[in-house]
Amino acid sequence: MQSLTLLDVINAVGEYATTPDELKAAVIHLVNSGKVKLDGELAGCKIDFGPSADAGAVVVKSQTELPQQALDQAG
């Protein structure tokens, strides 16, 4: 299985997603379900985008925050 960076996943899904929300949902599902394994600093992390997450960020369970703008720009 090939390991990917989060940016790789965002870029790949962004080619097909029609809205930023669709992009976020697909990336979160792929990462959290284990269908995609992340490499680098985020290896093994899960993404929390539930009600407890900051509205302006996607929070990775290792306490790393990714700005919403990065996901929006990819879609």
* pLDDT tens over the chain, length 75 residues: 666 788 888 999 999 999 988 998 899 899 889 888 887 777 788 887 665 555 555 555 543 445 555 556 555
Write phi, then psi, for 67 (nearest 5 degrees): -60, 140
From 42, 34, 40, select the one nearest 1 (Cα to Cα).
Answer: 34
Strand partners, 44: none
pTM of the model: 0.64
pLDDT for the residue 53 = 52
